[in-house]
């Protein structure tokens, strides 16, 4: 584990802290999209609550960071408050010291004290081991990555696990300063679209929720197929026109992970809805 020379501190949301977090993310990645205004949007403007997390300092310099943001999910018919794991980084000079595990456990212990019931996240193949073997996460399943033309639902019951959205939380989510969003209405529901690097992506499906004014109707595009990433037990893939993206063409493979903070129950991988909007991919 770590030596006593590391000092752990809860997030303070101070201007200096934001500057140090941005510097930490950019140190080993000049293309990092993390900027102060983006972190402020993630950490402080979420209507469900401020981010929960910890920093590690060495000689008064930030060397490791971990943060998760409050969310609400429907779990077996009950609205339950938890955290979405989003940002973690350790300075390359301080890796191998157990800082990621230490910061995460401090975060989860504090989150439990605050009344949060679970942690959910999406991890790539390089990081999923740390969550499952060192932090006791359940590896629920690998997310699907497809190009879709339409989406057809099965006539089945609602998933046992899904993200809860209302007009206030949707307005915050779609105010992401790093992207623009569009919608396409169908009856009482709306499909939401964002932009990946090269493709329009369908990121969410909302029912009876008023959309913010900054969300515009989906413009016409020549290519009718949209990128879709996630899991949804209600989608009928036999009736949906789509094709899977081969593994060799994926930049990363994404895995849904879950940890119960108040009990031992696990997620049923056959009854989950978790789209890109739900884990902040765009």
- Give residue 40's pLDDT band: very low, low, confident or very high (50, 70, 90): very high
> How many other C-beta atoms can be found within 10 angstroms of the C-beta atom of residue 116?
22
Domain locations in the chain as residue ranges: 6-116, 144-252
What pLDDT score was predicted for residue 203?
96
For 6-116, CATH number out of 3.40.630.30, 2.160.10.10, 3.10.20.30, 3.40.50.300 equals 3.40.630.30
What pLDDT score was predicted for residue 4?
63
What pLDDT score was predicted for residue 188?
79
What pLDDT score was predicted for residue 164?
97
Residue 42, pLDDT above cutoff 80: yes
Worst-scoring range by mean pLDDT, 49-58, 99-108, 115-124, 149-158?
149-158
- Residues composing the chain: 282
Burial class (CB in 10 A: 0-12, 13-18, 19+), 193: buried
**CA dist., res. 53 & res. 71, Å (int):** 14
Worst-scoring range by mean pLDDT, 104-113, 210-219, 248-257?
248-257
What pLDDT score was predicted for residue 31?
62
What stretches of the chain show up as alpha helix (H) in DSSP? Answer: 15-27, 36-44, 99-114, 128-129, 167-173
Residue 1, pLDDT above cutoff 50: no
Q: At what angle do helices 15-27 and 36-44 cross, to 10 degrees?
A: 120
What's the whole-number mean pLDDT along residues 48-59?
97
- Give residue 273's pLDDT band: very low, low, confident or very high (50, 70, 90): very high
> How many other C-beta atoms can be found within 10 angstroms of the C-beta atom of residue 220?
6
Task: Pick 249 or 25 by higher pLDDT.
Answer: 25
pLDDT (tens digit per residue) in 204-252: 999 889 899 889 999 888 888 999 999 999 999 999 999 998 877 777 8
- Give residue 63's pLDDT band: very low, low, confident or very high (50, 70, 90): very high
**CA dist., res. 60 & res. 66, Å (int):** 17
């Amino acid at each position: 584990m770590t030596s006593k020379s590391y000092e752990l501190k809860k997030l303070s949301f101070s201007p200096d802290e934001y500057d140090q977090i941005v510097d930490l993310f950019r140190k080993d990645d000049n293309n990092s999209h993390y900027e102060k205004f983006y972190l402020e949007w993630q950490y402080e403007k979420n209507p469900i609550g401020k981010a929960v997390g910890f920093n590690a300092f060495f000689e008064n310099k930030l060397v490791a960071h971990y943060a998760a943001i409050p969310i609400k999910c429907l779990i077996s018919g009950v609205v339950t408050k938890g955290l979405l794991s989003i940002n973690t980084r350790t300075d390359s000079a301080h890796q191998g010291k157990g800082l990621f595990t230490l910061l995460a456990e401090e975060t989860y212990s504090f989150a439990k004290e605050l009344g949060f019931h679970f942690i959910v996240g999406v991890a790539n193949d390089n990081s999923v081991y740390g969550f499952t073997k060192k932090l006791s996460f359940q590896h629920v399943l690998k997310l699907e990555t497809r190009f879709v033309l339409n989406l057809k639902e099965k006539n089945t019951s609602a998933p046992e696990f899904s993200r809860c959205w209302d007009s206030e939380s949707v307005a915050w989510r779609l105010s992401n300063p790093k992207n623009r969003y569009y919608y396409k209405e169908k009856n009482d529901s709306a499909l939401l679209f964002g932009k990946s690097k090269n493709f329009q992506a369908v990121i969410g499906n909302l029912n009876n929720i008023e959309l913010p004014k900054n969300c515009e109707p989906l413009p016409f595009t020549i290519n009718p197929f949209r990128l879709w990433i996630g899991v949804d037990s209600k989608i009928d893939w036999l009736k949906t026109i789509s094709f899977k993206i081969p593994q060799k063409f994926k930049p990363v493979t994404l895995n849904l992970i879950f940890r119960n903070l108040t009990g031992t129950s696990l997620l049923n991988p056959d009854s989950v809805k978790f789209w890109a909007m739900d884990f902040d991919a765009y």
